Amino acid sequence: MTDLVTPVAAPRPPALRRAAPALLGYAAVRTLGLLTLAGWSAARGKSAYTLLTARWDSLWYTRVAERGYGYEVRLPDGDVHSNLAFFPLLPWLERLLHALTPLSYAGAGCAVSLLASLAAAWGIFAVAEHVYGRRVGVCAVLLWAVLPVGVVQSMAYSESLFTALAAWSLYSVLTGRWLTAGLLAALAGLTRPVGVAVVAAVWTVGVVSFVRERSGGAQDRGDGVHDRGASRPAGARDDGSAPAAPPWRRALGMLLAPVGTAAYVLWVGHRTGKGPLGYLDVQAGWRNGFDGGQAFARFVADKFTSFPSALAGAGLTIGVCLLLWLYVTGVRQRQPLALLVYTGVVLALALCASSYFGSKPRLLMPAFPVLLPLARALARLRTGRSALVTAGVAVVSAVYGAFWLNGSGPP
């Protein structure tokens, strides 16, 4: 009689090995961008290193790291630019790395961003792989790398650090690691004001899980609170097998999530003597606020008053419509609730803020889940064609990044 042997599934490769193609591809794209920037800058008699470490916001972060808070600039029009507008985690890390290495504060900031960008790429891969599979994970990372303003990922800015913390916090929510999710959300809240998007994601999924348990519905499985009968997209893994976390872990993770944002905002209010809303006054000094998108709409409309600028207006309109279409597509493709909430808040804060409009592209950079529909489409192509498309876009992105940073660049 022939023995019946139960097939045993091959062991899953370690996480870093699974992510290796995505990380190598990301490093290649960013290296191309930095080499292009170096060549372009040298041709113009500028220093690429200075462009990456000592302009715009990077100067403010470096000053906080070196001298602490309290510095401000009073402009002729009466506006007051205070360094209290900049959240402290990046300056803290700059100070720590400066103390441990020969790097200057500016160099330390650039090093933190470079390392954080790799952590962000790995986190994006982890989220996309968990929801849609490894191939989509690789494509999602490459798409994030080739964003037109991807050069910011290598600057001494806080976008890469924030995206890393946000991505891994979301992954922790998706896999039921609630304490880790709450801690990373708290750190994200110490990095940028948009940390509230991570908090919103953690709280929404947590509340829905408790409500479902109370009503006797599906348990929290760590996959974004989809129903068990929900259809999954083609090529997706069955990733809903994570056991429900104990209620106390979910509750503690939810309590930890807003600590970072709340602590800094309350500290600023105490320092300025203006109470809990003091941070809003600091932002008002920078002409930053939330007006529901009215100022941005007027900015775009003004572009259509003359022919040359009308092209820019049309481009902005198409860009906003594309973002909204990708978000709606994510909803239709049943992305996990955590990703939808996070992306929605990031898009709302970026598009509906009255801040300097040239900064909106980099403010949108942390909204990586909006790239998942494109990543799924790219993953369906043959490998050769997918690589060709990505390489072509990477070259365009590298040239644009070098041109942009040698010109007006990010505010």
Token pair, residue 245, equals: 């976390």
Q: Which of 135, 195, 130 is nearest to 159 (CA)?
A: 195
CA distance 106 to 155: 10
Retrieve residue 353's tokens: 């803020």
- pLDDT, residue 234, reads 38
Question: Both tokens of residue 240?
Answer: 């809903």
pTM of the model: 0.91
Residue 403 pLDDT: 95
Name the amino acid, one letter, at 217. Answer: G
Q: Which residues, other chains included, contact 197 with Cβ-Cβ below 8 Å and sequence gap of 6+?
A: 166, 341, 342, 343, 345, 346, 349, 366
Q: In this structure, what are the phi and psi dihedrals at residue 364, rounded to the nearest 5 degrees?
A: -85, -15
d(CA 106, CA 62): 6
Separation of alpha carbons 79 and 68, rounded Å:
21
pLDDT tens, position by position, 6-65: 445 456 777 889 999 999 999 999 999 999 999 999 999 999 999 999 888 999 999 999
Helix H or strand E encompassing 254? helix 247-256
Q: For residue range 166-176, what is the model confidence (pLDDT) as tens digits? A: 999 999 999 99
For residue 16, the model assigns a pLDDT of 86
Please give the pLDDT value at position 161: 98
Query: Which residues of the chain fall short of a pLDDT of 50?
Result: 1-7, 9, 218-242
Kindly list the domain boundaries of the chain, sorted by start residue.
19-227+241-287+383-405
Q: Report d(CA 5, CA 361) in Å as an integer.
A: 56
Q: What pLDDT is recorded for position 208? A: 94
At 161, list the tokens.
């650090």
